[in-house]
Amino acid sequence: MTNTFKAVVAGTGSYLPEKILTNKDLEKSLDTTDVWITERTGISERRIAADGESASTMAAKAGKQALEAGGISPDDVDLIIVCTSSPDVLFPSTACFVQNELQAFNCAAYDISAVCSGFVFGLSIVEQYLKNGRYENILLIGSEVNSRIVDWTDRSTCILFGDGAGALLLKRVEQENPLGILSTHIYSDGRLSDLICVPGGIGRTGVNKQDIDDKKYFIKMSGNATFKVAVKRMTDVIREALEFNELSMEEVGLLVPHQANQRIINAVAERLNYPMEKVFMNIHKYGNTSGASIPIGINEAKRSGRIQPGDTSVLGVVGAGLTWGSAVIKW
């Protein structure tokens, strides 16, 4: 079937909790320093969800902002997808809680889980729904409360992560429209699933005391191995997206990479021979917000003028799974 439609970004939004946890704060409870964290990660501070805040409450605030920016009512939303690896509960889906909060009752709602890559994976799903004409307005949200699933005594992981949510409202337009999502590219390699994971059992063994005592319900990561894989996979998938669209890096107005580690971002930009001044960065303020990282970045770039009408942006991400992906958007 020939697609007669495409997806354009009609509105953006984000939400960050008020509480700021700085590196200086972490010095009080961990064997670490502000200098050590900054030099190795690029992170100076991160946001921490307050009591009563969760993936769904943050997602709803980001989603409401995106709907307002796009000028549509919650009644006009056809589908809500929430990308999260820190859902409110095991089930029902966080997206159903968001639907209720937004009072968007004319749509379906569900979650996807691809951790840091979740939003780009979600974008690939939305692209297909809109291209084939199935829906007209889709709200895609990435929302994470990583602070609830990190071991605050483990300096190798807890310094990296923060909380937040970002959202895009995507709308169906005619294929002839030059704007919109030009392509998405996603991959997984389950052989590398142990590089980043929360190993505690749920469906496999059931929640059990031994896993709790061993802190297996918190994020575990092999830092050095992850760094090497992340740089290669993100670079390769960005190059694939450029080749698919017959673009050069010189034609890209802004690269919006997943904000996992500044050294990863620097290495990717160097391999692509792309100037750092054209790379969007907010990792110093928020740390790694996993599935929320890309949409928070897009919203801030749009609202600050880093993305202008007619610009082409490229997204790139690597996450647990192992998962990775890229997307090209014409604004």
Each residue of 262-317: pLDDT tens digit? 999 999 999 999 999 999 999 999 999 999 999 999 999 999 999 999 999 999 99
- Distance of alpha carbon 36 from alpha carbon 273, whole angstroms: 28
Query: What pLDDT is attached to residue 3?
Result: 73
Q: Which of 23, 83, 146, 258 is catalytic?
A: 258
Could you say which of 23, 137, 146, 288 is catalytic? Answer: 288
Cβ 12 vs Cβ 299: under 8 Å: yes
Q: Nearest CA to 307 among 279, 267, 284?
A: 279
Domains of the chain and CATH, by start:
5-174 (3.40.47.10), 180-330 (3.40.47.10)
> Which residue out of 116, 137, 146, 185 is catalytically annotated?
116
pLDDT > 70 fraction of the chain, expressed in percent and rounded: 99
Tell me the backbone φ, ψ of residue 199, rounded to 5 degrees: -80, -10
Q: What is the pLDDT of residue 2?
A: 63
Question: What are the tens digits of pLDDT across the range 128-173?
Answer: 999 999 999 999 999 999 999 999 999 999 999 999 999 999 999 9
> pLDDT category, 261, cuts 50, 70, 90?
very high
pTM, entire model: 0.97
Q: Which residues of 297-313 are buried (b: 16+ CB within 10 A; e: fewer)?
A: bbbbbbeeebbeeebbb
Helix (H, G, I), strand (E, B) or coil at 238: helix
Q: What is the pLDDT of residue 145?
A: 98
pLDDT of residue 187: 98
Q: What percent of the chain has pLDDT over 90?
A: 98
197 is an active site residue: no
Report whether pLDDT(253) > 80. yes
Asked if the model's pLDDT at residue 189 lies above 90, the reply is yes
107 labelled catalytic:
no
Catalytic annotation present for 273: no
Question: Mean pLDDT for the chain?
Answer: 97
Those residues with Cβ within 8 angstroms of residue 16's Cβ, 6 or more apart along the chain or in another chain = 47, 163, 164, 165, 286, 296
